[in-house]
Amino acid sequence: GEDVEQSLFLSVREGDSSVINCTYTDSSSTYLYWYKQEPGAGLQLLTYIFSNMDMKQDQRLTVLLNKKDKHLSLRIADTQTGDSAIYFCAESPTYGGYNKLIFGAGTRLAVHP
């Protein structure tokens, strides 16, 4: 079946690192994504990782993928107040060539001084 799970809430101090975790179920997912949703806005792609990779770094963002355990994490270095948002993990199982995104419930990141 398809299921993406993530913790619902994370609170960090400004300047610390944030780590948001996600587990997924469908091993056919070629890509795994992290989206960010700011209050009152739509989802915006933050970063993605190809399923053959273990790690991807993009400025302050580091994505780690453990394909064996189907575990994905997003690390934000030097977290700022502007990083406060909901972060969604998504897998992308493929059915007959059609790309479908399965989202987790989202992790609300709160950054405090």
Partner 1 sequence: NAGVTQTPKFRVLKTGQSMTLLCAQDMNHEYMYWYRQDPGMGLRLIHYSVGEGTTAKGEVPDGYNVSRLKKQNFLLGLESAAPSQTSVYFCASRKSTSIQALGETQYFGPGTRLLVL
Per the structure block, which two tokens stand in for 29? 């997912």
- Residue 98 vs 113, nearer CB to partner 1: 98
- For β-strands 85-91 and 102-103, DSSP reports them as antiparallel
Say how many C-beta atoms besides its own lie within 10 A of residue 60's C-beta. Answer: 14
Q: How far is the CB of 13 from partner 1 (least distance, A)?
A: 25
What SS3 class is residue 103?
A: strand
Q: How far is the CB of 20 from partner 1 (least distance, A)?
A: 14
Q: How far is the CB of 69 from partner 1 (least distance, A)?
A: 20
- Residue 68 vs 98, nearer CB to partner 1: 98
Q: What angle do CA 108, 112, 113 make, to 5 degrees?
A: 165
Binding site for partner 1 (CB under 8 A): 4, 8, 30-31, 33, 40-45, 48, 50, 88, 90, 92, 94, 97-106
